[in-house]
Amino acid sequence: MSDHAQHAHDDGHHDEAHDGVSEIHVSLKGYMTGFAAAAFLTILPFWLVMSGAFSKTGPADAFILLFAAVQIVVHMVYFLHLNAKSEGGWNMLALVFTIVLVVITLSGSIWIMFHLNSNMLPSMMPNPQNLP
């Protein structure tokens, strides 16, 4: 196929209707909403940590992870344009499966590895100051 023919072929609007690109609905409002939400969810935890408002205790970690989780959802919806109907729902299905694997990998690793310490023989115990 010559270069010219390729160009003419690609320019056709008939192709664009079925390539999936034109089915993605983007809008300035959507991007600005997502950006405002993401900026807020970024600045707040940074400010809380850098100003020293958070003490070095448990709830601070939980708050940071909560902000991160909400911000990831915001990015997925407003920037990655994910919804239950994109690609006939297969995008969402793949994402849910991935999240399941990610949660198993993360929580499983941390759970098992931190219990490993207490299951060791006393002579093999690491330096206590390195324990979490």
Partner 1 sequence: MSDMTMTVNGGNGGEAALSFHVTEDHHPENATLFGFWMYLMSDCLIFACLFATYGVLGREYAGGPSAAQVLELPIVAVNTTLLLLSSITYGFSVLEMQQNRRGPMMAWLIVTWFLGAGFIALELTEFAHLVSIGAGPQRSAFLSSFFGLVGTHGLHVTCGLIWMIVLLVQVGKKGLTAANKRRLMCLSMFWHFLDVVWVGVFSFVYLMGVLT
What is the contact surface with partner 1 in residues (CB under 8 A)?
7, 10-12, 15-16, 18-21, 23-24, 26-28, 31-32, 34-35, 38-39, 42, 45-46, 49-50, 54, 56, 60-61, 64-65, 67-68, 71-72, 75-76, 79-80, 87-88, 90-91, 94-95, 97-98, 101-102, 105-106, 108-110, 113-114, 130, 132
Report the distance separating Cα 78 and Cα 28, nearest Å: 10
Spatial neighbors of 125 by CB under 8 A, at least 6 apart, are 117
Residue nearer to partner 1 on the CB measure, 7 or 124: 7
Report the distance separating Cα 46 and Cα 64, nearest Å: 9
Residue nearer to partner 1 on the CB measure, 122 or 132: 132
Q: Is the CB of residue 23 less than 8 Å from the CB of residue 14?
A: no
CB of 119 to partner 1, least distance (A): 15
CB of 123 to partner 1, least distance (A): 19
- CA distances to 24, 67, 71, 75, 101 from 38, rounded to whole Å, are 21, 10, 6, 7, 25
